[in-house]
Structure 1
Amino acid sequence: MTRAGRVLLWGLVLLVIVGLGIFFFVVPQRVEAAMNGVLQPPPYAASDRAKVLHKSIEVADLHADPLLWGRDLVARGTRGQVDIPRLSEGNVALQVFSVVSKSPHNLNIERNDDRSDDITLLAIAQHWPPRTWFSLKERALYQAARLHDMAARSQGKFVIVKSKGDLARFLERRKTERGIVAGLLALEGAQVLEGDPANVDVMFDAGYRMMSAAHFFDTEMGGSAHGVDKGGLTDKGRDMIRRMEAKKMILDIAHASPAQIDDVLAMATRPVVVSHTGVKGTCDNRRNLSDDQLRAIAAKGGLIGIGFWETAICGTDAAAIAKAQSYAAGVIGVDHLALGSDFDGAVATPFDATGLVQITDALLAQGFSDADIGKAMGGNQIRFMLENLPD
């Protein structure tokens, strides 16, 4: 090889090394920063009355996706919307951590198939183990293990709850340790079962206590509101629900097709949740729930987690969140309201987890009583978990 050839070869090697370095150490952070924006940076203003009230209540959120992005949630982050320190500052007692295992290219709320997946490259770039690159079940197991490791390293500031007893003990501790946070593991879409309802047991043993049949595409268990066929539950999906109910896992029907919602409510013997959504009464699109769906879910004893992003609420501030809460309360009553932020779910939100006091303030402006605000901000969610988690 000539000297010029050697120079060219080493130049190409250097370019490959630099390119790999950018792929593994720069791209994931840039992608997260771009996809999980905060429309207003902290600190967040609120009325004195709202600040006092917010400190006195137990806040709980039914849906956030920070595990997708590879950050250590024990440390306070400089990007994204959620981590344990920011949850603590926002007075969050209970946060549901949902795991996204697959996401189609060109994601939209109208029609997606299951033939593509943006998570594979993200998993490789974030150094997930090779077993996760092409197995959705392994991705779920890996993310559960990561959250358990974070809890173990948190020096007691963060605990994972899996049962009524776990949550009751945590709440007793929190009476004197107000800054501690509890987490509950959830699965966004039953594609992690890889077509076998028996894998419900595997997910339960890994610590998951909530799951939906579908996310943004139809699965072997049921149809998505954003899928191709948008069908109801399949026979496998019915088997999945029976297994979940036997384990006292909570069924989430966020993203479910209307046909799936009807099928679920017809067969479910336990209350269900819609972990993150909007309502058509304030924001009419395929993503959101009709009044009839709200009533049917409430009649089963369910909860409606109102989201924080624009497609859910047709707005970009806490006032729009409170408006959706107020509308839902008018249809089904305050006892079925909840928060479903979708923090770190590839959406922009008005604030990060430290700004939840702004919703308390906006609910006051809507005329909610202090007691009703306590219910909507977390009291309902905690009551629901104490009633429906495994013993």
Structure 2
Amino acid sequence: MKKIIIVLGTITILYYATTLLVPPYIETQRNPVKSAPPYSVSSEAQAIYDRLDFISDLHCDALLWGRDLTKRGSRGQVDFPRMREASVALEMFTIVTKSPAGQNMQSNTTNAFDNITPLTIAKGESPANWFSLINRTLTQSENLANFIEGENGQAILIKTKTDLNKLIAARKNDKSVIGGMLGIEGAHALEGEIENLDRVYAAGVRMIGLTHFFDNELGGSAHGQSQAGLTEFERSVVKKMNELGIFVDLAHCSAAIIDDVLEITNMPVMVSHTGVRGVLDSQRNLSDNHIQKIAKNGGIIGIAFFDEAVGVPELPNIIASIKHIRDLVGVEYVALGSDYDGSVAVPFDITGFPFLVEGMMNAGFSQDEIKAVMGENVKRFLLQNLK
């Protein structure tokens, strides 16, 4: 009996040590920042940045890693204190539930080993989450709600147009008030059950990417094997998302899915984080044809910050990607979609956003265009389309 107690005690201690040490180590390896803060830009660029009324980003995976987002982190790329330092009004926190071993931009299998399962266990999450994608989704949703609740009114979970208007009004007097929205990266999180849409909607989710790095019950990924369009299940999911008021995110979708969604949706779409083929020719990125179709739909396109979406060096290519969309369809359709904390190396963390203003300024963007890209386009899109 004594030996059993010693063994169980040892296992408990080792597991507890794992939860303390392993997730931070993995995140440090997976989410490097190439240039560490503090950052400095020209006085003119900083002055333009300081006058921006609403700054927003459409994609951040910080919830995956188990950090307390209310505290300034020594790792990763986004948390609430750094949002406030950068005067960012709104962040879309996206939920990752599954990632295939050997993840790559070209071709991933559906049945590959899932990298998120061992991370979920190592974080000390409930066994109910270890092998359930919907439970992982609901837990990350609850975590963001709890972080926001603990901010005592200084943060707002944006679920409705009323919530957004509350954020806008609050920031007129206090720029430390921030907003968070919830999205899902990959509708495999629904586990093939359309009823789970109601559950994630109730949890606050207002954007869902139909696929991630592999094909799922809904259709083909840009990085999967089938390159298929919408399945019948996915068509029913898209229609119900329209009814509920959940935005369809076309990031990571096959070209066929993009075409199919744009034929059947009655809501404008999002592409939360992407590049454009006019800057980097990759199956990950949007063609000019799809950019034009998304603009015709009234959608919005977030430009990502990492090399596999924009190329290297990243900053000038981020600006070139923004410019490409502006010149092709108009500045009103482009936004920021960093993919911060998404297992990517980025040139700067969220406090480096002034670099984007300086880059656009040097590329000849007007102050109104800079203002639109940095967040006004997202604000307008959400005010027009949130219920």
Check whether TM > 0.5: yes
CA distance in 1, matches of 2:123, 2:194: 29
Matching residue within 279, 282, 297 for 1:282: 279
Amino acid at match of 1:102: K
Deviations 1:102-137 (A, max 9, x none): 001010011112222111110111011111111101
Deviations 1:115-164 (A, max 9, x none): 22111110111011111111101111111111000001112222111001
Give the corresponding residue for 2:24: 29
Say if 2:65 is the partner of 1:69.
yes
Aligned with 2:173: secondary structure? Answer: coil
Please give the per-residue CA displacement for 1:351-371, whole angstroms capped at 9, x wherever unaligned: 111110100110001100000
Partner residue in 2 for 1:138 = 135
Bigger shift: residues 32-41 or 154-163: 154-163
How many residues are matched?
A: 383
Deviation for aligned residue 1:269: 1.2
Q: Which moved more, 1:129-138 or 1:314-323?
A: 314-323
Q: 1:258 to 1:24 in 2, by over 3 A?
A: same
Report deviation, 1:13.
Answer: 8.3
| Equivalence for 2:368 | 371
CA distance in 1, matches of 2:11, 2:247: 47
Counterpart in 2 of 1:248?
245
Alpha-carbon separation, structure 2, partners of 1:165 and 1:64: 23
Aligned to 1:3: none
* Structure-1 residue corresponding to 2:55: 59
Q: Which moved more, 1:376-385 or 1:196-205?
A: 196-205
Question: Structure 2: how far apart are the matches of 1:131 and 1:256?
Answer: 29
Amino acid at match of 1:167: L
Which deviates more, 15-24 or 363-372?
15-24
Amino acid at match of 1:97: F
One-letter identity of the residue aligned with 1:141: L
- 2:79 paired with 1:83: yes
- Identity %, equivalent residues: 41
Cα deviation 1:38-64 (Å, max 9, x = unaligned): 000001111111111112211100000
Partner of 2:201: 204
Quote how far apart the aligned CAs of 1:223 are: 1.2
Cross-structure match for 2:123: 126
From 334, 339, 346, the counterpart of 1:337: 334
TM-score by length of 2: 0.96
Moved more, 367-376 or 111-120: 111-120
Work out the CA distance in 1 between the residues paired with 2:93 and 2:252.
17
Residue aligned with 1:96, SS: strand
- Distance in 2, matches of 1:276 and 1:283, equals 14
- Select which of 260, 263, 266 maps to 2:263: 266
Unaligned runs of 5+ residues in structure 2 are: none
Report SS of the residue matched to 1:92: coil
CA distance in 2, matches of 1:193, 1:150: 24
Q: Is the 8 A contact 1:309 1:316 kept in 2?
A: no
